Protein backbone atom coordinates (compact mmCIF):
# COMPACT_ATOMS: atom_id res chain seq x y z
CA UNK A 1 0.00 0.00 0.00
CA UNK A 2 1.41 3.37 -1.00
CA UNK A 3 1.89 6.29 1.37
CA UNK A 4 -0.82 8.19 -0.50
CA UNK A 5 -3.34 5.35 -0.01
CA UNK A 6 -2.49 5.05 3.69
CA UNK A 7 -2.97 8.79 4.17
CA UNK A 8 -6.35 8.67 2.42
CA UNK A 9 -7.56 5.75 4.56
CA UNK A 10 -6.38 7.35 7.80
CA UNK A 11 -8.08 10.65 7.06
CA UNK A 12 -11.28 8.94 5.95
CA UNK A 13 -11.30 6.62 9.00
CA UNK A 14 -10.95 9.53 11.43
CA UNK A 15 -13.56 11.62 9.63
CA UNK A 16 -16.07 8.78 9.33
CA UNK A 17 -15.80 7.57 12.94
CA UNK A 18 -16.52 10.91 14.56
CA UNK A 19 -19.06 12.08 11.99
CA UNK A 20 -21.07 8.88 12.38
CA UNK A 21 -20.79 9.03 16.16
CA UNK A 22 -22.38 12.49 16.05
CA UNK A 23 -25.07 11.17 13.71
CA UNK A 24 -25.84 8.28 16.09
CA UNK A 25 -25.96 10.58 19.10
CA UNK A 26 -28.53 12.79 17.36
CA UNK A 27 -30.66 9.94 16.02
CA UNK A 28 -33.53 10.88 18.35
CA UNK A 29 -33.39 14.57 17.45
CA UNK A 30 -31.23 15.82 20.33
CA UNK A 31 -27.93 15.09 22.05
CA UNK A 32 -28.08 14.58 25.81
CA UNK A 33 -25.38 15.01 28.43
CA UNK A 34 -24.61 11.29 28.64
CA UNK A 35 -23.94 11.08 24.90
CA UNK A 36 -21.49 13.97 25.11
CA UNK A 37 -19.82 12.44 28.17
CA UNK A 38 -19.32 9.01 26.59
CA UNK A 39 -17.69 10.64 23.55
CA UNK A 40 -15.36 12.56 25.84
CA UNK A 41 -14.54 9.34 27.72
CA UNK A 42 -13.59 7.60 24.50
CA UNK A 43 -11.51 10.56 23.36
CA UNK A 44 -9.65 10.35 26.67
CA UNK A 45 -8.97 6.66 26.02
CA UNK A 46 -7.61 7.55 22.59
CA UNK A 47 -5.27 10.14 24.13
CA UNK A 48 -5.92 12.47 21.22
CA UNK A 49 -3.70 15.48 20.72
CA UNK A 50 -5.31 18.87 21.25
CA UNK A 51 -5.53 19.39 17.48
CA UNK A 52 -7.10 15.98 16.81
CA UNK A 53 -9.51 16.38 19.71
CA UNK A 54 -10.65 19.73 18.32
CA UNK A 55 -11.10 18.17 14.87
CA UNK A 56 -13.01 15.22 16.36
CA UNK A 57 -15.43 17.57 18.13
CA UNK A 58 -15.97 19.49 14.88
CA UNK A 59 -16.71 16.24 13.01
CA UNK A 60 -19.05 15.08 15.78
CA UNK A 61 -21.05 18.31 15.49
CA UNK A 62 -21.08 18.02 11.70
CA UNK A 63 -22.44 14.48 11.91
CA UNK A 64 -25.13 15.54 14.37
CA UNK A 65 -26.48 18.09 11.89
CA UNK A 66 -29.86 16.91 10.48
CA UNK A 67 -28.52 17.63 6.99
CA UNK A 68 -25.68 15.10 7.41
CA UNK A 69 -25.69 12.57 4.55
CA UNK A 70 -24.83 9.20 6.05
CA UNK A 71 -24.91 7.38 2.71
CA UNK A 72 -22.37 9.73 1.13
CA UNK A 73 -20.17 9.39 4.20
CA UNK A 74 -20.15 5.59 3.92
CA UNK A 75 -19.51 5.66 0.19
CA UNK A 76 -16.55 7.98 0.65
CA UNK A 77 -15.10 5.70 3.31
CA UNK A 78 -15.56 2.57 1.21
CA UNK A 79 -13.89 4.31 -1.71
CA UNK A 80 -10.88 5.22 0.47
CA UNK A 81 -10.65 1.79 2.14
CA UNK A 82 -10.81 -0.02 -1.18
CA UNK A 83 -9.95 -3.72 -0.92
CA UNK A 84 -9.29 -3.62 2.80
CA UNK A 85 -12.09 -5.53 4.59
CA UNK A 86 -10.31 -5.57 7.94
CA UNK A 87 -10.10 -1.79 8.27
CA UNK A 88 -13.79 -1.64 7.35
CA UNK A 89 -14.63 -4.05 10.15
CA UNK A 90 -12.45 -2.14 12.60
CA UNK A 91 -14.37 1.03 11.74
CA UNK A 92 -17.60 -0.73 12.68
CA UNK A 93 -16.02 -2.14 15.85
CA UNK A 94 -14.87 1.33 16.87
CA UNK A 95 -18.27 2.79 16.16
CA UNK A 96 -20.07 0.17 18.24
CA UNK A 97 -17.55 0.46 21.08
CA UNK A 98 -17.83 4.24 21.20
CA UNK A 99 -21.61 4.24 20.93
CA UNK A 100 -21.92 1.80 23.83
CA UNK A 101 -19.33 3.32 26.15
CA UNK A 102 -22.11 3.79 28.69
CA UNK A 103 -22.82 0.05 28.52
CA UNK A 104 -25.63 -0.21 26.05
CA UNK A 105 -27.11 0.85 22.74
CA UNK A 106 -30.68 2.12 22.87
CA UNK A 107 -33.06 0.99 20.15
CA UNK A 108 -32.75 4.08 17.91
CA UNK A 109 -28.96 4.06 18.19
CA UNK A 110 -28.89 0.37 17.34
CA UNK A 111 -30.99 1.01 14.24
CA UNK A 112 -28.51 3.61 13.00
CA UNK A 113 -25.51 1.38 13.71
CA UNK A 114 -27.24 -1.46 11.85
CA UNK A 115 -27.82 0.91 8.93
CA UNK A 116 -24.12 1.74 8.94
CA UNK A 117 -23.27 -1.97 9.00
CA UNK A 118 -25.61 -2.58 6.08
CA UNK A 119 -24.03 0.27 4.16
CA UNK A 120 -20.63 -1.35 4.74
CA UNK A 121 -21.90 -4.65 3.35
CA UNK A 122 -22.73 -6.54 6.56
CA UNK A 123 -25.80 -8.77 6.75
CA UNK A 124 -27.89 -8.64 9.93
CA UNK A 125 -26.61 -12.09 10.95
CA UNK A 126 -22.95 -11.10 10.59
CA UNK A 127 -23.58 -7.81 12.39
CA UNK A 128 -25.33 -9.51 15.33
CA UNK A 129 -22.42 -11.93 15.66
CA UNK A 130 -19.89 -9.09 15.60
CA UNK A 131 -21.90 -7.21 18.23
CA UNK A 132 -21.85 -10.29 20.46
CA UNK A 133 -18.07 -10.59 20.17
CA UNK A 134 -17.48 -6.90 20.88
CA UNK A 135 -19.75 -7.03 23.92
CA UNK A 136 -17.93 -10.10 25.26
CA UNK A 137 -14.53 -8.48 24.79
CA UNK A 138 -15.63 -5.20 26.37
CA UNK A 139 -17.04 -7.05 29.39
CA UNK A 140 -14.02 -9.33 29.86
CA UNK A 141 -11.86 -8.28 32.79
CA UNK A 142 -8.48 -9.98 33.19
CA UNK A 143 -8.56 -11.80 36.55
CA UNK A 144 -6.44 -10.84 39.49
CA UNK A 145 -3.60 -13.04 40.66
CA UNK A 146 -5.70 -16.06 41.63
CA UNK A 147 -2.67 -18.07 42.78
CA UNK A 148 -1.69 -15.41 45.32
CA UNK A 149 -5.28 -14.98 46.49
CA UNK A 150 -5.72 -18.72 46.86
CA UNK A 151 -2.62 -18.99 49.07
CA UNK A 152 -3.63 -16.13 51.37
CA UNK A 153 -7.38 -16.69 51.72
CA UNK A 154 -8.46 -19.99 53.27
CA UNK A 155 -12.18 -19.50 52.60
CA UNK A 156 -11.48 -18.69 48.97
CA UNK A 157 -9.22 -21.71 48.73
CA UNK A 158 -11.90 -24.04 50.09
CA UNK A 159 -15.02 -22.77 48.40
CA UNK A 160 -14.57 -20.21 45.69
CA UNK A 161 -11.40 -20.76 43.69
CA UNK A 162 -12.71 -23.36 41.24
CA UNK A 163 -15.96 -21.48 40.68
CA UNK A 164 -14.09 -18.23 40.08
CA UNK A 165 -11.74 -19.83 37.56
CA UNK A 166 -14.71 -21.37 35.75
CA UNK A 167 -16.34 -17.94 35.42
CA UNK A 168 -13.09 -16.38 34.17
CA UNK A 169 -12.59 -19.16 31.63
CA UNK A 170 -16.14 -18.82 30.37
CA UNK A 171 -15.65 -15.08 29.81
CA UNK A 172 -12.31 -15.74 28.10
CA UNK A 173 -13.87 -18.21 25.66
CA UNK A 174 -16.55 -15.66 24.76
CA UNK A 175 -13.95 -12.92 24.28
CA UNK A 176 -12.13 -15.14 21.78
CA UNK A 177 -15.41 -16.13 20.09
CA UNK A 178 -14.99 -19.85 20.68
CA UNK A 179 -17.00 -22.51 22.51
CA UNK A 180 -15.95 -23.81 25.96
CA UNK A 181 -15.14 -27.21 24.46
CA UNK A 182 -12.73 -25.76 21.87
CA UNK A 183 -9.53 -27.71 21.36
CA UNK A 184 -6.05 -26.26 21.86
CA UNK A 185 -5.68 -25.94 18.09
CA UNK A 186 -9.01 -24.09 17.83
CA UNK A 187 -8.06 -21.72 20.66
CA UNK A 188 -4.75 -20.84 19.01
CA UNK A 189 -6.43 -20.39 15.63
CA UNK A 190 -9.03 -18.02 17.10
CA UNK A 191 -6.35 -16.05 18.91
CA UNK A 192 -4.19 -15.67 15.79
CA UNK A 193 -7.21 -14.54 13.79
CA UNK A 194 -7.98 -11.82 16.35
CA UNK A 195 -4.32 -10.80 16.48
CA UNK A 196 -4.38 -10.29 12.72
CA UNK A 197 -7.51 -8.18 13.08
CA UNK A 198 -6.66 -6.06 16.11
CA UNK A 199 -2.91 -5.93 16.70
CA UNK A 200 -2.13 -2.18 16.79
CA UNK A 201 0.93 -2.47 14.53
CA UNK A 202 -1.07 -4.35 11.90
CA UNK A 203 -3.87 -1.80 12.06
CA UNK A 204 -1.50 1.11 11.56
CA UNK A 205 -0.07 -0.67 8.55
CA UNK A 206 -3.58 -1.05 7.12
CA UNK A 207 -4.52 2.60 7.55
CA UNK A 208 -5.51 3.08 11.19
CA UNK A 209 -4.86 6.69 12.23
CA UNK A 210 -2.00 6.62 14.78
CA UNK A 211 -4.02 8.86 17.11
CA UNK A 212 -6.62 6.11 17.47
CA UNK A 213 -4.21 3.25 18.19
CA UNK A 214 -4.45 3.48 21.99
CA UNK A 215 -8.10 2.36 21.90
CA UNK A 216 -7.14 -0.56 19.68
CA UNK A 217 -4.36 -1.44 22.10
CA UNK A 218 -6.86 -1.71 24.96
CA UNK A 219 -8.98 -4.19 22.99
CA UNK A 220 -5.93 -6.20 21.94
CA UNK A 221 -4.75 -6.47 25.55
CA UNK A 222 -8.08 -7.99 26.55
CA UNK A 223 -7.83 -10.52 23.72
CA UNK A 224 -4.29 -11.37 24.78
CA UNK A 225 -5.31 -11.67 28.45
CA UNK A 226 -8.17 -14.02 27.56
CA UNK A 227 -5.83 -16.26 25.58
CA UNK A 228 -3.17 -16.27 28.32
CA UNK A 229 -5.77 -17.20 30.93
CA UNK A 230 -6.86 -20.23 28.91
CA UNK A 231 -3.24 -21.24 28.32
CA UNK A 232 -2.45 -20.90 32.02
CA UNK A 233 -5.43 -23.03 32.99
CA UNK A 234 -4.44 -25.69 30.44
CA UNK A 235 -0.90 -25.87 31.83
CA UNK A 236 -2.25 -26.31 35.36
CA UNK A 237 -4.60 -29.04 34.18
CA UNK A 238 -1.70 -30.88 32.54
CA UNK A 239 0.22 -30.85 35.81
CA UNK A 240 -2.63 -32.33 37.86
Q: Please enumerate in sequence order all residues whose Cβ is within 8 A of that of 198, keeping only pairs 6 or more positions apart, or say none.
A: 90, 216, 219, 220, 223
Are 27 and 92 members of one domain? Answer: yes
Residue 141 counted as domain residue: no
* Residue 211 belongs to domain spanning: 146-239
CATH number of the domain that residue 222 is part of: 1.10.287.110
Q: Render pLDDT for 68-81 as a digit per residue (tens, 0 to 9).
A: 999 999 999 999 98
Residue 51 counted as domain residue: yes
Q: Render pLDDT for 158-217 as a digit per residue (tens, 0 to 9).
A: 444 444 455 678 999 999 999 999 999 999 999 999 999 889 888 888 888 887 787 778
Q: 107 or 205, which is more confident?
A: 205
The yes-or-no verdict on residue 155 having pLDDT over 70 is no
Are 70 and 165 members of one domain? Answer: no
**Three-class HEC string of 159-174:** HHHHHHHHHHHHHHHH
| Helix H or strand E encompassing 64 | helix 50-64
Q: Which of 114, 106, 142, 128 is nearest to 218 (CA)?
A: 142
Residue 125 counted as domain residue: yes
Are 123 and 221 members of one domain? Answer: no
One DSSP character per residue, 90-151 reads HHHHHHHHHHTTTS---HHHHHHHHHHHHHTT--HHHHHHHHHHHHHHHH------HHHHHH
| Predicted local confidence at residue 163, as pLDDT | 46
pTM (global) more than 0.75: yes
| Predicted local confidence at residue 11, as pLDDT | 92
Are 221 and 103 members of one domain? Answer: no
Residue 137 counted as domain residue: no
Q: How many domains does the chain have?
A: 2
Are 185 and 92 members of one domain? Answer: no
Output DSSP code: residue 212.
G
Are 123 and 47 members of one domain? Answer: yes
Average pLDDT over residues 11-19: 93
Are 19 and 84 members of one domain? Answer: yes
Are 123 and 38 members of one domain? Answer: yes
- Cβ-contact 198, 223 below 8 angstroms: yes
CA distance 99 to 101: 6
CA distance 162 to 27: 45
Q: Render pLDDT for 108-137 as a digit per residue (tens, 0 to 9).
A: 888 888 999 999 999 999 999 998 998 898
Residue 139 counted as domain residue: no
Are 19 and 42 members of one domain? Answer: yes
CATH number of the domain that residue 16 is part of: 1.10.3680
Residue finishing a domain among 131, 160, 178: 131
| Predicted local confidence at residue 145, as pLDDT | 55
Are 86 and 37 members of one domain? Answer: yes
Average pLDDT over residues 138-148: 66
Amino acid sequence: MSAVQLKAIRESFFTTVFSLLGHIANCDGYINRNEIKRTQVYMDKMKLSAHCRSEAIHLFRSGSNPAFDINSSLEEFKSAAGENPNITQVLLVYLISMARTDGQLVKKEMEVVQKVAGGLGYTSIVFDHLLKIITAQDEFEPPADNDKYQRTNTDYQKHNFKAHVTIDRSAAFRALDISPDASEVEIKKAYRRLVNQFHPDKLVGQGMPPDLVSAATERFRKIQAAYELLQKYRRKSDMT
